[in-house]
Amino acid sequence: MAVIGPVQLLTIEFGPDAKFEGRIIEELAILEANEQIRVLDVLFVSKEPSGGLFSLDFQQEGMGETVAALLGISRERIRAVQDAYPSMTEGNAFGLSTGEIREMAEAQDPGTSAAYILLEHVWAKHLRKAVRDAGGVPVAEGFLTEEALEPVAVELAAAAERLGDPVAPKPTPVPKPGNRPRRT
């Protein structure tokens, strides 16, 4: 079985005047290229003024299916709607237990959109295994809000300044067949 890092569902709400210009997908691609995360699934959902949910689009073939399942949207329903409306998928409400995930989508204001991004924290997959092998059980996970970080903002800014931006390691060139070093 493949080792997988901790998985996080990141939900971002956008107002009715949101500008979807591809920048979010671009940033996710950079994070993935730097091996900081692995994007397991992405689904952009809008809520109509009448309250119904629909998918804005799937970025790639097969994308959106896992998040749709968490939202309670069946594969059969996705396929039927995709056949009728290739870029739109209606669904049911969503919420970090399954119920909470469904409540989040239900609470989304009419006329707004949200991005549901399922991320794997690749950097932490071996740490997670070590914790579990040692008998540890994660009891809480989550990002801290800006408000929660305010009391330590100066310290965090100083640490970020000191550490600089993370940079992906340069890829190791793969030798071409016939150009491999010879053993003597």
Q: Domain segments of the chain: what residues?
A: 7-141
Distance from C-alpha of 67 to C-alpha of 70, rounded to nearest angstrom: 5
Q: Is the pLDDT of residue 167 over 50?
A: yes
Q: How many CB atoms lie within 10 A of CB 106?
A: 14
Tokens 């998040």 found at? 67
pLDDT at 91: 35
φ, ψ at 12 (rounded to 5°)? -125, 125
Q: How many CB atoms lie within 10 A of CB 57?
A: 14
Q: One-letter amino acid identity for 78?
A: I
Higher pLDDT: 86 or 98? It is 98
Average pLDDT (78-106) is 53
Residue that is written with structure tokens 């079985």 in the block: 1
Mean predicted confidence (pLDDT) in 11-28: 76
Q: What is the pTM of this model?
A: 0.51
Query: CB of 35 within 8 A of CB of 29?
Result: no
* CA separation for the pair 156, 148 (Å, rounded): 12
CA dist 118 and 8 (Å) reads: 6
Beta-strand pair 7-14/38-47:
unpaired
**Do 46 and 113 contact (CB within 8 A), yes or no?**
yes
Read off the pLDDT of residues 62-76 as tens digits, 9 standing for 90 and up.
677 777 777 776 666
Main-chain phi, psi angles of 155, to 5 degrees: -65, -40
What is the structure's pLDDT at 96?
A: 55
Closest by alpha carbon to 29, among 145, 126, 119?
Answer: 119
